[in-house]
A and B are shown apart, each in its own frame.
Chain A
Amino acid sequence: MSPTTHAIAAYVVTILLLWGYAVTLWLSVRRQRNNNQDTPGTIGEGSDLS
């Protein structure tokens, strides 16, 4: 592998891990918010997630 390939590989790995986790969390927060809207009166109502 050339040094350029090494550098690009490091950036790709970092971007995939960091932003992959960010997207996963975003989807989870959205799902949680939707669940709270579907079932009013459950935990989370009036919390940050609603």
Chain B
Amino acid sequence: MNTVKSKLCMAYWLVTASLFAGAVVMVFVWTPTEQTMGVVQKIFYLHLPVAINTFAACMVTFIASIGYLWQRRQVWDDLAVSSAKVAVLLCSIVLLTGMIWGHSAWGQWWTWSPRLTFSLVLWLLYVAYLVIRPSIESRQRRALVSAVYGVVAFLDVPLVYLSVKLMPDIHPSSIGLAPEMKTTLLFCFLPVTMLAVGLIAARYRLQRAETLSMQEAEDPPLDTIAADPAGGFT
């Protein structure tokens, strides 16, 4: 059973890697170069899917946090922290690719426009989420504080999305694309989404194992205590 599971996992990662490689080839070989911005516009095919998956990862943390507040089950906290870690990684990529694009398009690495600022705030919020957690010793208290924080931090996601529509911003709100460009963009969503899902799932498996290991250390099973001559008090 576990061998089948391992093979399915391996197949999933191989398909994701192949699709990712295919997407990169598609972007640089098949897709026409945009006339106004030139080659640098090709960053967009990666930037947008990664940004949408950042929102999705934040959403998973948000839902898992609500799940924990509702049911107080450790699995929800494990899922929340796993997706928060992936959200930080994805948000870092969004900021970096955006900065590289901005340097070419605007002539500067960074500008304090509403969308960029809210995106940086989003990154900082989830970094803080991960930094704060280890400082709380009690497992239940850590999960509770993280869950409340996970719900509140998600409020920045709609701000990132809507800022460009509601406030004057240098960041483009929509880009007209030729049919081949649209096809490439849609294709790029597939490997990036599969990768994000795979990363959250892998991180979650590790997180569960770490939690179970800690639970075992904190509350050893009765037969272990009985087998220990010191009664488990050493």
Q: Do A and B come from one complex?
A: yes
Measured as residues with beta carbon below 8 angstroms from the partner, the interface class of chain A is 20 to 34
Beta-carbon contact of B208 and A17 below 8 Å: no
Chain A residues positioned under 8 Å from B198 (CB to CB)? 22
The residue on B at minimum CB distance from A44 is B209
Complex CA distance for A1 and B103, rounded to whole angstroms? 9
Beta-carbon contact of B89 and A21 below 8 Å: yes
How would you classify the secondary structure of chain A's contact residues: helix, strand, loop or mixed?
Answer: helix
When each residue 182-209 of chain B gets 1 if its CB lies under 8 Å from chain A and 0 otherwise, what string results? 0000000000000100110011011011
Contact among A9, A25, A44, A50 with B202 in the assembled complex (CB-CB below 8 Å):
A25
Chain B residues positioned under 8 Å from A42 (CB to CB)? 213, 216
Complex CA distance for A7 and B208, rounded to whole angstroms? 38
Contact among B17, B199, B209 with A49 in the assembled complex (CB-CB below 8 Å):
B209
Measured as residues with beta carbon below 8 angstroms from the partner, the interface class of chain B is 35 or more
Is the CB of B118 closer than 8 A to any CB of chain A? no
Is the CB of B108 closer than 8 A to any CB of chain A? no
Chain B residues positioned under 8 Å from A26 (CB to CB)? 13, 202
Is the CB of B174 closer than 8 A to any CB of chain A? no
Beta-carbon contact of B40 and A7 below 8 Å: yes
Within 8 A of B (CB), among A2-50: 3-4, 6-7, 9-11, 13-15, 17-19, 21-22, 25-26, 28-29, 32, 42-44, 47-50
Can you list 21 A-B contacts (CB < 8 A)?
Answer: A3-B37, A6-B100, A7-B42, A10-B100, A13-B96, A17-B92, A19-B20, A21-B199, A25-B199, A25-B203, A25-B206, A29-B202, A29-B206, A42-B213, A43-B213, A43-B215, A44-B213, A47-B209, A48-B5, A49-B209, A50-B2
Q: A: which residues have CB within 8 A of B?
A: 1, 3-4, 6-7, 9-11, 13-15, 17-19, 21-22, 25-26, 28-29, 32, 42-44, 47-50
The residue on A at minimum CB distance from B212 is A43
Within 8 A of A (CB), among B39-74: 39-40, 42-43, 46-47, 50
Complex CA distance for A48 and B203, rounded to whole angstroms? 13
Complex CA distance for A29 and B32, rounded to whole angstroms? 41
Complex CA distance for A14 and B42, rounded to whole angstroms? 13
